[in-house]
Homo-oligomer: A and B are copies of this chain.
Amino acid sequence: MTETPAQYLHHHGLRKTLGRELVLTTFLDQSRALSHGELNTLLGDQLNRASLYRVLQSFEESGIVHRVPDDEVSVKYALCSGACSSEQHHDNHVHFKCNHCGETQCLPEVKLPKVKTPDSLKVESAELLLRGYCRHCAA
Protein backbone atom coordinates (compact mmCIF):
# COMPACT_ATOMS: atom_id res chain seq x y z
CA MET A 1 0.00 0.00 0.00
CA THR A 2 1.70 3.15 -1.18
CA GLU A 3 -0.96 5.53 0.04
CA THR A 4 -1.45 6.83 3.55
CA PRO A 5 -4.41 5.39 5.47
CA ALA A 6 -6.26 8.67 5.00
CA GLN A 7 -5.74 8.59 1.23
CA TYR A 8 -6.72 4.94 1.14
CA LEU A 9 -10.00 5.74 2.88
CA HIS A 10 -10.66 8.60 0.53
CA HIS A 11 -10.02 6.47 -2.54
CA HIS A 12 -12.64 4.06 -1.28
CA GLY A 13 -15.18 6.82 -0.91
CA LEU A 14 -14.98 7.05 2.86
CA ARG A 15 -14.44 10.12 4.96
CA LYS A 16 -11.22 10.17 6.94
CA THR A 17 -12.10 9.82 10.61
CA LEU A 18 -10.10 8.91 13.68
CA GLY A 19 -11.91 5.62 14.15
CA ARG A 20 -11.39 4.48 10.59
CA GLU A 21 -7.72 5.39 10.62
CA LEU A 22 -7.25 3.51 13.88
CA VAL A 23 -8.92 0.37 12.54
CA LEU A 24 -7.08 0.48 9.23
CA THR A 25 -3.75 1.00 10.97
CA THR A 26 -4.47 -1.90 13.31
CA PHE A 27 -5.13 -4.22 10.38
CA LEU A 28 -1.87 -3.11 8.76
CA ASP A 29 0.05 -3.54 12.02
CA GLN A 30 -1.31 -6.98 12.78
CA SER A 31 -1.36 -8.41 9.25
CA ARG A 32 -3.92 -11.05 10.09
CA ALA A 33 -7.65 -11.52 10.21
CA LEU A 34 -9.24 -9.91 13.24
CA SER A 35 -12.63 -10.27 14.87
CA HIS A 36 -14.60 -7.36 16.25
CA GLY A 37 -13.72 -8.56 19.73
CA GLU A 38 -10.00 -8.63 19.02
CA LEU A 39 -10.08 -5.16 17.50
CA ASN A 40 -12.12 -3.90 20.41
CA THR A 41 -9.51 -5.19 22.84
CA LEU A 42 -6.63 -3.75 20.82
CA LEU A 43 -8.29 -0.36 20.54
CA GLY A 44 -9.47 -0.12 24.14
CA ASP A 45 -11.50 3.02 24.68
CA GLN A 46 -10.12 4.72 21.60
CA LEU A 47 -13.25 3.71 19.68
CA ASN A 48 -16.73 2.87 20.84
CA ARG A 49 -17.87 -0.72 20.41
CA ALA A 50 -20.89 0.14 18.25
CA SER A 51 -18.84 2.54 16.18
CA LEU A 52 -16.31 -0.22 15.58
CA TYR A 53 -19.08 -2.40 14.16
CA ARG A 54 -20.05 0.47 11.89
CA VAL A 55 -16.46 1.04 10.79
CA LEU A 56 -16.19 -2.65 9.88
CA GLN A 57 -19.46 -2.45 7.95
CA SER A 58 -18.31 0.56 5.99
CA PHE A 59 -14.96 -1.13 5.30
CA GLU A 60 -16.63 -4.27 4.02
CA GLU A 61 -19.09 -2.33 1.87
CA SER A 62 -16.38 -0.19 0.34
CA GLY A 63 -13.97 -3.03 -0.42
CA ILE A 64 -11.38 -2.41 2.28
CA VAL A 65 -11.88 -5.62 4.23
CA HIS A 66 -13.57 -8.92 3.53
CA ARG A 67 -15.29 -11.34 5.83
CA VAL A 68 -13.49 -14.56 6.71
CA PRO A 69 -15.92 -17.34 7.67
CA ASP A 70 -15.02 -18.88 10.98
CA ASP A 71 -16.28 -21.83 12.95
CA GLU A 72 -16.26 -19.95 16.22
CA VAL A 73 -18.41 -17.40 17.91
CA SER A 74 -17.70 -14.42 15.75
CA VAL A 75 -16.75 -13.62 12.20
CA LYS A 76 -13.32 -12.30 11.33
CA TYR A 77 -12.26 -9.60 8.88
CA ALA A 78 -9.12 -9.23 6.82
CA LEU A 79 -7.74 -6.50 4.63
CA CYS A 80 -8.60 -6.88 0.98
CA SER A 81 -5.73 -7.40 -1.39
CA GLY A 82 -6.40 -4.08 -3.10
CA ALA A 83 -8.51 -4.85 -6.13
CA CYS A 84 -11.79 -4.70 -4.19
CA SER A 85 -14.31 -1.90 -4.41
CA SER A 86 -17.82 -1.21 -3.31
CA GLU A 87 -18.88 -2.76 -6.63
CA GLN A 88 -17.24 -6.09 -6.06
CA HIS A 89 -14.92 -8.06 -3.87
CA HIS A 90 -12.17 -10.17 -5.43
CA ASP A 91 -11.01 -12.16 -2.46
CA ASN A 92 -11.38 -15.68 -3.73
CA HIS A 93 -8.28 -16.70 -1.91
CA VAL A 94 -7.36 -19.18 0.75
CA HIS A 95 -7.30 -18.64 4.50
CA PHE A 96 -5.44 -20.53 7.16
CA LYS A 97 -6.42 -20.79 10.79
CA CYS A 98 -4.15 -22.21 13.45
CA ASN A 99 -5.75 -24.76 15.75
CA HIS A 100 -3.45 -23.77 18.56
CA CYS A 101 -3.16 -19.99 18.67
CA GLY A 102 -6.38 -19.37 16.75
CA GLU A 103 -4.87 -16.79 14.44
CA THR A 104 -6.21 -16.58 10.91
CA GLN A 105 -4.15 -15.40 7.98
CA CYS A 106 -4.82 -14.80 4.31
CA LEU A 107 -2.79 -16.87 1.84
CA PRO A 108 -3.13 -14.76 -1.30
CA GLU A 109 -0.31 -16.68 -2.98
CA VAL A 110 -2.19 -19.98 -2.75
CA LYS A 111 -4.22 -20.60 -5.89
CA LEU A 112 -7.78 -21.74 -5.33
CA PRO A 113 -8.46 -24.52 -7.83
CA LYS A 114 -11.77 -24.72 -9.64
CA VAL A 115 -13.97 -27.57 -8.53
CA LYS A 116 -16.64 -29.30 -10.52
CA THR A 117 -20.07 -28.75 -9.01
CA PRO A 118 -23.60 -29.91 -9.84
CA ASP A 119 -25.15 -28.01 -12.73
CA SER A 120 -28.16 -27.12 -10.60
CA LEU A 121 -26.01 -24.79 -8.51
CA LYS A 122 -24.93 -21.39 -9.74
CA VAL A 123 -21.64 -20.89 -7.92
CA GLU A 124 -20.49 -17.30 -7.61
CA SER A 125 -17.68 -17.41 -5.10
CA ALA A 126 -15.61 -19.81 -3.09
CA GLU A 127 -13.91 -19.67 0.26
CA LEU A 128 -11.32 -22.23 1.29
CA LEU A 129 -10.42 -22.35 4.97
CA LEU A 130 -7.42 -24.47 5.90
CA ARG A 131 -6.80 -25.48 9.47
CA GLY A 132 -3.70 -26.79 11.13
CA TYR A 133 -0.69 -25.37 12.91
CA CYS A 134 1.08 -22.17 12.04
CA ARG A 135 4.81 -21.52 11.88
CA HIS A 136 4.92 -20.61 15.59
CA CYS A 137 2.67 -23.37 16.86
CA ALA A 138 3.82 -26.35 14.79
CA ALA A 139 4.44 -29.24 17.22
A residues lining the B interface (CB < 8 Å):
67-72, 75, 94, 96, 99, 107, 109-113, 115-118, 120-135, 138-139
Contact = CB atoms under 8 A, between A and B. Distances in A.
A63 B117 CA distance: 26
Contacts of A133: 121-122, 124
A94 B123 CA distance: 12
Contacts of A135: 120-121
Q: How many copies does the complex hold?
A: 2
Contacts of A139: 122
Contacts of A68: 71
Contact of A71 (B75, B110, B121, B128): B75
B110 A116 contact: yes
Residue from A69, A70, A112, A120 whose CB has the most chain B CB atoms within 10 Å: A69
B130 A117 contact: yes
Contacts of A116: 110-111
Given A71-B75, A94-B117, A96-B117, 11 more contacts: A69-B129, A71-B127, A111-B116, A121-B130, A121-B133, A123-B131, A124-B131, A125-B130, A127-B128, A127-B129, A128-B128
A124 B110 contact: no
A126 B130 contact: yes
Contacts of A129: 69, 126-129
